[in-house]
Amino acid sequence: MVTALTICTLLLSLQQQSWAAVLHGRPQGEIHTVAFCDLIHNPERYDQTVVRVRVIFRRAGEDFIAIECPDCLDEVWVVPHFDPSFYSRTKRSVQRQFGKYTGTTIITTLVGKFDNSRASDPGSCCFGFLVMYAENAEIIGRGSRGYKLSPKAKKRIKC
């Protein structure tokens, strides 16, 4: 009886924590918020680490998606991949902002695992980011305007 009660208590406490945090032994509040520019300038420090970042997400057709910061646009790409848990962990209203519109530009806060894939391939132009969930998202551009950020939008994502 005591064992069954202990197991139930453990399962309930695990259910309250995020999937990503449980994997890494940290409560959700302890996932570190990192400036995007710090990720790409110190990739060794964050390789295979779950972090929270505020970024610009761009979709240009079906073949190109990237997360970036206006201050670091010319330095490197970070290519996001969506973990299957994204769809169960992200609110539907937030998920809809990541639609398949060509030219969509979004300001968002993502939680995921950074991948310093360039370490194994020095010729690579990009890092990887496994998106576990999005905390929020706001579309700031669609269509041809999606590629150019207004000065107001740039100020919202400063490294």
Residue count of the chain, please give it.
159
Tens digit of each residue's pLDDT (9 = 90 or more) over 118-131: 655 555 567 889 99
Rounded CA separation 27/143 (Å): 39
pTM for the model stands at 0.74
123-125-130-136 Cα dihedral, nearest 10 degrees: 170
| Percentage of the residues of the chain whose pLDDT score is greater than 70 | 61
Which tokens is 98 given? 């990541």
Tens digit of each residue's pLDDT (9 = 90 or more) over 4-61: 434 434 333 433 344 444 444 455 558 999 998 898 889 899 999 999 999 988 887 6
Tracing tokens 């519109």 back to the chain, one arrives at 101
Answer whether residue 98 shows pLDDT above 90: no
